[in-house]
Amino acid sequence: MNVETLTTLTVYGLADGAVLALAALGFVLIYKATQVINFAQGEFLLIGGYTFYAAFVLFGLPTTVAVLFGVVVAVALGVVVERFVLRPLVGESAISVIMVTVGLAAVLRGVMQLIFGVQARQMPAVLPAGTVEVLGARLPLNRLLVLVVAAVVLIAFALFFRRSRHGVAMRAVADDQQAALTMGISARRVFAMSWALAAVSALVAGVLLADITAVTPDLVSFGLLVFPVVILGGLDSVAGTIVGGIIIGLSEQFVSGFYDPGFAQIVPFILLVVILMVRPYGLFGQVRIERV
């Protein structure tokens, strides 16, 4: 083990972790506000990646316009899914709702394959390639930029929740829906907003991921890592997604670099099982003790 490898792996791990945190943030938003466990979060990420690809490569739009286009599509997707798939299910059992999101995931994945096929597509890199030297290690510039972009987006979300009227309304609905209604907050609007924001955060994650890898249907499998992240951080904790994302990202890279890349792929899920055994509500989740 030497310092350069350690530094390199840390940067790779942090970059992965930051992207994971973004993807997981959307999951937590939906769970907090609506108590729905969204199994289609990985597909939101996939759609985000492809939408940007379509705008940027197929339509040839400039980068910023392509990003804006992606955001608009993501917001529309979130709102439509909430309105036509989830709202009719209000009052149904949790397991039915989960099954519907599993079905939704299959449909979304299928539609993407119909449109774009199953072949991986290489996207011209948006983030500059190059390397920078830090502590003797040559670090890929694009991973560092992924880290920066993800951090900026996460901070923007944090400010939104702390300061803005709508962000505070979302926290209020998550805390006590009935009380929020009597404060003049529309729960329906908050539900729609949480789905829209979840799709947007997944879009950003999808675009970053597509930039450092490729646009393929396999983006979904990265989306699967959202589950270890949210179980680790706590289903209802925004801060937990960041810590959980970083832990999963780092542990995967370290195991891959120092031990075995194949084994690294199952490390997140081993962590998931361990966490479920010792601390089922996650590191930062709300401890709920229910008497039945």
Distance CA 63, CA 26 (A): 23
Comparison of 9 and 170: residue with beta carbon closer to another protein? 170
Torsion of CA 158, 159, 163, 169, to 10 degrees: -40
Residue 187 in contact with another protein, rule: CB under 8 A: yes
Comparison of 128 and 184: residue with beta carbon closer to another protein? 184
Among 121, 160, 212, 265, binds another protein (CB under 8 A): 160
Among 168, 212, 214, 239, binds another protein (CB under 8 A): 168
Comparison of 131 and 186: residue with beta carbon closer to another protein? 186
Comparison of 228 and 285: residue with beta carbon closer to another protein? 285
Q: Look at residue 133 and give its three-state secondary structure.
A: strand
Residue 181 in contact with another protein, rule: CB under 8 A: yes
Which residues sit opposite 131 in a β-bridge? Answer: 140
Among 60, 84, 128, 163, binds another protein (CB under 8 A): 163
Residue 185 in contact with another protein, rule: CB under 8 A: yes
Residue 288 in contact with another protein, rule: CB under 8 A: no
Dihedral pair phi/psi, residue 216, rounded to 5°:
-140, 165
Residue 169 in contact with another protein, rule: CB under 8 A: yes
Q: Report CA-CA distances (Å) from 243 to 19, 23, 253.
A: 12, 13, 16
**Shortest reach from residue 189's CB to another protein, in Å:** 9
Residue 159 in contact with another protein, rule: CB under 8 A: yes
Dihedral pair phi/psi, residue 268, rounded to 5°:
-55, -35
Residue 113 in contact with another protein, rule: CB under 8 A: no
Residue 156 in contact with another protein, rule: CB under 8 A: yes
**Shortest reach from residue 120's CB to another protein, in Å:** 37
Residue 175 in contact with another protein, rule: CB under 8 A: yes
Q: Report CA-CA distances (Å) from 238 to 29, 31, 35, 138, 145.
A: 8, 11, 14, 32, 22
Dihedral pair phi/psi, residue 136, rounded to 5°:
80, -10
**Shortest reach from residue 160's CB to another protein, in Å:** 6
C-alpha Rg value of the chain to the nearest Å: 19
Distance CA 59, CA 253 (A): 35
Residue 35 in contact with another protein, rule: CB under 8 A: no
Distance CA 281, CA 48 (A): 29
Give me 22's structure tokens. 């973004």
Residue 182 in contact with another protein, rule: CB under 8 A: yes
Comparison of 80 and 168: residue with beta carbon closer to another protein? 168
Alpha helices by DSSP H, the chain: 3-34, 41-53, 63-81, 94-116, 141-163, 165-175, 177-182, 187-212, 219-224, 226-233, 238-258, 261-264, 267-278
* Binding characters for another protein, 59-98, by CB under 8 A (x = yes): ----------------------------------------
Which residues of the chain form contacts with another protein (CB under 8 A)?
A: 156, 159-160, 163-166, 168-169, 171-172, 175-176, 178-187
